[in-house]
Amino acid sequence: MSRNLSGNDERPTSDGLSSPVRYRLPAVCGMLLAICLLLSACGVPQTSAPAPTTLRIAGSSSLQPTLNELATAYQAKHPQTVVEVFGGGTTIGIQELRSKEIDLAAVSWKPDDRKAPDDLKVIPIARDGLAVIVNPQNTITNITSLQLRALYRGETLDWGAVGGSGGEPVVISREDGSGSRMAFESLGMDGGRVTLNALVMPTSQAVVDYVASHRNAVGYVSTGVLTDTVRAVPLEEIRPTAAAVRAGEYRLGRVLYLFAPQRVSSEIQAFLDFVLSPEGQAIVSRRLTPIR
């Protein structure tokens, strides 16, 4: 047998003639490519993108708008992290944190003299004032603490008795378990309960929406959810401004918190650090009074 110069082998056939046998070039090329890739993988370290992380926060609806803004800003700096913010109320937030359904609870009421829960870490992030709100058509210009308690006990039957524009007051409150309701009954009602005839709303925004569309309604909400569709009434001649809240001059002032497990992941700690950073506190100041 002879080998020709073209790179093909010749084999004798049954008739005694030679027939060329061609190399299987696709198989050879594929083998070479696999070897090259293997050598490349051995020589160059391979890096993979970090796994995405989701942080879940639930609780106070008073904190929800501010937490949404904080989440948006944080995600812009940490695109691998998704921060989900839900409402539900302070009590629900704490319950879901303890059952490990969420990572952080938004809490809008913890009495100053009450010890922090042993199983949870308490992080103050803002100050706030509960604003007493009325419809813009209501002519009331100021309310005293006594008048406010009478309104919310259901004892005031006409707005004219407290300097309003007349008509029977429609008292709006939050649901049981709401941090805003607990704060209002403690600070504004001296520990008493609001009237059973009050209309109960599930969120702060629902209170704003109802008062905005009903001339005789009165409600209380965080300054963080105030809009120009309602009017905040001065309490004892003091408006719920950031300065008045910070100085402790406004009677319905409170601290807002994030509750966390005693031991948190590095991702949760990074978010908490951001909230308390100058950038985070600047975002807080858009709606609330920063804690720092």
Please give the chain's pLDDT, 292 residues, in tens: 444 444 444 444 444 444 444 444 445 445 555 554 555 555 555 556 667 899 999 999 999 999 999 999 999 999 999 999 999 999 999 999 999 999 999 999 998 777 778 889 999 999 999 999 999 999 999 999 999 999 999 999 999 999 998 999 999 999 999 999 999 999 999 999 999 999 999 999 999 999 999 999 999 999 999 999 999 999 999 999 999 999 999 999 999 999 999 999 999 999 999 999 999 999 999 999 999 9
User: All domains of the chain, ordered by start, with CATH?
Assistant: 53-127+255-290 (3.40.190.10), 129-253 (3.40.190.10)
pLDDT at 45: 54
- Structure tokens that stand for 66 in this block: 């501010």
pLDDT at 218: 98
Whole-number Å distance between alpha carbons of 251 and 142: 14
> CA geometry: angle at 169 spanning 166 and 174, to 5°?
155
pLDDT at 33: 54
pLDDT at 14: 45
Task: Output b/e per residue, 159-177; b: 16+ Cβ within 10 A.
Answer: beebebeeeebbbbbbeee
pLDDT at 47: 57
pLDDT at 5: 41
> Phi and psi for 178 in degrees, rounded to 5?
-75, 135
Tell how far CA 121 is from the center of its chain.
17
Whole-number Å distance between alpha carbons of 100 and 97: 5
pLDDT at 15: 47
